[in-house]
């Protein structure tokens, strides 16, 4: 009864990864005939087969659970919340990275860009953000909402293009309904049309005006857990905002010293 459902889900992932049936069969070392039978529900896949196909298609752990469930099999990847005791080492690792970046802003976000943690230096980014956006902070809402950072971002058109392009790629790669809804939301925010950056520049900067009128310029870097099997850990991203010029670095160090923050 569940095999045709599994076939539909598998076909969706295969097409998302731009694999033909033959391509997938070759990579998974299975006959194209057997794979066809699996997709049409004429054959019921084993747990090993589901996991092998998921590995070839680079399906994230959480979605591998969905594939197993669609095939009538029990999930194998525990789905825990970030504050689960089993993730203590992950939380400690995240905090070490966040602290190491002080006095530069650094945040940790989940698969839907919700903030799960941030260092003290992130306050320089959040200055003036509407309290409602901080109740359940989402990095994209904070950046692009008119009550968030958007009014203070000097190159908002470029930064919108950068963030929305990233989100579109994530939607295309994951097929997530939550990310798709978030994309629709942030695209609806008022603001300048997304502006493609000059391809000759090294990287797209974030140019942010402070409440005192100073201009801070950042380059961002993203860190992930490269060997994580737990879905929550695998989906975490740590984004640091590093100074792109000497004046920004000096301003952040000075701010940190005045507030007694560790450097």
Is residue 75 one of the residues assigned to a domain?
no
Q: Are residues 8 and 126 in the same domain?
A: no
Instruction: Supply the range of the domain harboring residue 134.
Output: 85-259
**pLDDT on residue 263:** 43
Calculate ∠ Cα 115-207-248, nearest 5°: 95
Q: Are residues 44 and 108 in the same domain?
A: no
Q: Are residues 36 and 93 in the same domain?
A: no
**pLDDT on residue 193:** 80
Q: Are residues 160 and 188 in the same domain?
A: yes
**pLDDT on residue 195:** 78
Is residue 79 one of the residues assigned to a domain?
no
Is residue 60 one of the residues assigned to a domain?
yes
**pLDDT on residue 229:** 84
Encoded tokens for 80: 């825990």
What pTM did the predictor assign?
Answer: 0.86
Is residue 77 one of the residues assigned to a domain?
no
Is residue 76 one of the residues assigned to a domain?
no
Q: Are residues 231 and 192 in the same domain?
A: yes
DSSP letter for each residue of 118-176: E-GGGHHHHTT--HHHHHS-BHHHHHHSTTTTGGGBTTHHHHHHHHHHHHHHHHHHH--
| CA-CA-CA-CA dihedral for 183, 184, 189, 194, to nearest 10 | 60
Q: Are residues 62 and 94 in the same domain?
A: no
Q: Are residues 60 and 163 in the same domain?
A: no
pLDDT along the chain (263 residues), means of 10: 73 95 96 95 94 96 94 92 94 96 97 96 94 96 97 94 95 94 96 78 90 92 89 95 96 86 46
Sequence-separated (6 or more) residues with CB below 8 Å from residue 22: 32
Q: Are residues 103 and 176 in the same domain?
A: yes
Please answer whether residues 120 and 263 qualify as being in contact, where contact means their C-beta atoms are separated by less than 8 angstroms.
no
Count of domains forming the chain: 2
Q: Are residues 92 and 140 in the same domain?
A: yes
Encoded tokens for 137: 């902070």
**pLDDT on residue 258:** 82
Is residue 27 one of the residues assigned to a domain?
yes
Q: Which of 70, 93, 121 is the last residue of a domain?
A: 70
**pLDDT on residue 260:** 66
**pLDDT on residue 32:** 95
DSSP-based three-state secondary structure for 33: helix
Q: Which of 70, 95, 119 is the last residue of a domain?
A: 70
224: CATH: 3.30.450.20
13: CATH: 1.10.260.40
**pLDDT on residue 194:** 75
Is residue 78 one of the residues assigned to a domain?
no
Q: Are residues 167 and 215 in the same domain?
A: yes
Is residue 134 one of the residues assigned to a domain?
yes
**pLDDT on residue 257:** 85
Q: Are residues 22 and 139 in the same domain?
A: no
SS3 string, 43-108, reads CCCCHHHHHHHHHHCCCCHHHHHHHHHHCCCCCCCCCCCCCCHHHHHHHHHHHHHHHHHCCCCEEE
Q: Are residues 21 and 128 in the same domain?
A: no
């Amino acid at each position: 009864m569940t095999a045709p459902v599994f076939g539909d889900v598998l076909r969706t992932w295969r097409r998302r990864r731009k694999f033909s049936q033959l391509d997938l069969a070759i990579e998974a070392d299975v006959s194209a005939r057997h794979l066809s039978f699996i997709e049409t529900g004429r054959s019921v896949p084993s747990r090993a087969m589901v996991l092998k196909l998921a590995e070839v298609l680079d399906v994230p752990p959480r979605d591998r659970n969905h594939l197993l469930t669609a095939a009538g099999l029990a999930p194998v990847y525990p789905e825990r919340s970030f504050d689960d005791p089993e993730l203590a080492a992950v939380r400690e690792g995240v905090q070490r990275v966040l602290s190491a970046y002080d006095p530069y802003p650094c945040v940790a976000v989940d698969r839907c860009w919700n903030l799960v943690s941030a260092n003290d230096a992130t306050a320089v980014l959040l200055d003036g953000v509407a309290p409602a956006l901080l109740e359940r902070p989402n990095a994209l809402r904070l950046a692009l909402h008119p009550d968030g950072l958007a009014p203070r971002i000097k190159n908002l058109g470029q930064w919108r293009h950068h963030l929305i392009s990233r989100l579109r790629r994530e939607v295309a790669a994951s097929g997530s309904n939550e990310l798709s809804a978030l994309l629709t939301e942030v695209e609806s925010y008022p603001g300048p049309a997304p502006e493609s950056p000059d391809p000759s520049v090294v990287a797209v900067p974030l140019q942010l005006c402070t409440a005192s009128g100073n201009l801070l310029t950042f380059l961002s870097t993203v860190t992930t857990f490269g060997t994580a099997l737990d879905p929550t850990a695998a989906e975490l991203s740590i984004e640091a905002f590093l100074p792109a010029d000497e004046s920004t670095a000096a301003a952040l160090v000075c701010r940190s010293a005045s507030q007694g923050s560790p450097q």
